[in-house]
């Protein structure tokens, strides 16, 4: 991989095993939207327009100072081709799933944003989740040349449920406030949680009202890069009761969370497979 400066940002060449639509639209991140020949959106506190041309990843808005940030964000140091090969040998349906969307990578998102996003995700659909998060950023994020960052826990901790009415998140507003107050108040230290063993970390996150095992595991997988976490939502339960009957999450190995994401995406686009 080589990273060079361009007129409007940076170029990372030699990028393998990455599809922007598959990675940004597979239900792990909610702040990127298709724009022209790429995607426009935000990661952490950075706005960017991102496009992929063969094996060159162009990040408009990026600077050489954040080159490591973007390599980390797209998890470019992990060999996904090798992982897919391992996954394919585990189960024939998983083999189909990795062939269906071989460009999925698990992003390294901001832990607080991931926590909030998946609190919002409960009993909700992806299109609407995106809308709620967009309104959350527009109303309470910090504006910097037209871009609204994801609001901090500190900012949201000062609000109440009525203040959040503008984002129309329904019953989840109470959960967002509780999460913000526990994180801002130091009762939950997301940095410390990310260093804990998985079971301990999950229990810690579940101290937040509105955070159950699913939200906790999504937070750990997408916001803390704990790749062994295996979020069990309704689709995955169906998959584990159907084609993967008899298997347990840990049977998928140390990167079970990544395998889970391939299965999840495949099952959503091919619901008949899972009945």
Partner DNA sequence: GCCCAGGTATAAA
Partner DNA sequence: TTTATACATGGG
The answer to the question of residue 241 lying near DNA (CB under 7 A) is no
From candidates 88, 213, 247, 253, binder to DNA by CB under 7 A: 213
The answer to the question of residue 37 lying near DNA (CB under 7 A) is no
Residue 43: CB minimum distance to DNA, A:
16
The answer to the question of residue 231 lying near DNA (CB under 7 A) is yes
The answer to the question of residue 199 lying near DNA (CB under 7 A) is no
Cα separation, 41 vs 50, in Å, equals 8
> Can you name the residues that pair with 53 across neighbouring β-strands?
56
Cα separation, 139 vs 25, in Å, equals 23
From candidates 209, 241, 254, 270, binder to DNA by CB under 7 A: 209
Residue 36: CB minimum distance to DNA, A:
20
The answer to the question of residue 40 lying near DNA (CB under 7 A) is no
Distance of CA 28 to the CA centre of its chain: 3
Q: Which is nearer to DNA, 10 or 114 (CB)?
A: 114
Positive or negative: CA dihedral 246, 248, 249, 254: negative
From candidates 12, 176, 218, 224, binder to DNA by CB under 7 A: 218
Residue 136: CB minimum distance to DNA, A:
13
Q: Which stretch binds DNA (CB under 7 A): 9-17, 31-39, 80-88, 161-169?
A: 161-169
Residues 118-147 that bind DNA (CB under 7 A): 118, 121-129, 131
Cα separation, 259 vs 263, in Å, equals 6
C-beta separation of 116 from 152 below 8 A: no
Residue 150: CB minimum distance to DNA, A:
17
Residues 82-121 that bind DNA (CB under 7 A): 118, 121
The answer to the question of residue 268 lying near DNA (CB under 7 A) is yes
Residue 233: CB minimum distance to DNA, A:
4
Q: Which residues sit at the interface with DNA, rule CB under 7 A?
A: 26-28, 118, 121-129, 131, 165, 168-171, 206, 209-216, 218, 231, 233-236, 260-261, 264, 268
């Amino acid at each position: 991989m080589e990273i060079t400066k361009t007129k409007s940002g940076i170029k990372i060449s030699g990028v393998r095993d990455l599809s922007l639509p598959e990675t940004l639209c597979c239900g792990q991140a909610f702040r990127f939207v298709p724009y022209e020949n790429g995607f426009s959106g935000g990661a952490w506190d950075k706005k960017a327009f991102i496009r992929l041309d063969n094996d060159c990843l162009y990040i408009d808005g990026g600077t050489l100072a954040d080159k490591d940030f973007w390599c980390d964000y797209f998890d470019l140091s992990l060999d996904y081709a090798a992982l897919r090969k391992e996954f394919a040998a585990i189960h024939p349906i998983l083999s189909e799933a990795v062939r269906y969307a071989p460009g999925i990578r698990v992003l390294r998102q901001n832990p607080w944003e991931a926590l909030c996003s998946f609190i919002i995700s409960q009993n909700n659909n992806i299109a609407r989740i995106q809308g709620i998060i967009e309104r959350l950023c527009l109303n309470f994020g910090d504006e910097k040349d037209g871009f609204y960052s994801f609001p901090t826990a500190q900012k949201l901790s000062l609000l109440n449920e009525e203040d959040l009415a503008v984002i129309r998140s329904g019953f989840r507003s109470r959960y967002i406030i509780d999460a913000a107050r526990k994180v801002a108040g130091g009762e939950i230290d997301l940095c410390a949680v990310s260093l804990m063993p998985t079971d301990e970390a999950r229990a810690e996150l579940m101290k937040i009202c509105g955070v159950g095992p699913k939200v906790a595991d999504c937070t750990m997988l997408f916001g803390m890069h704990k790749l062994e976490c295996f979020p069990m939502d309704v689709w995955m339960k169906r998959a584990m009761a159907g084609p993967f009957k008899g298997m347990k999450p840990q049977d998928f190995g140390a990167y079970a969370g990544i395998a889970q994401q391939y299965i999840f995406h495949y099952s959503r686009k091919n619901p008949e497979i899972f009945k």
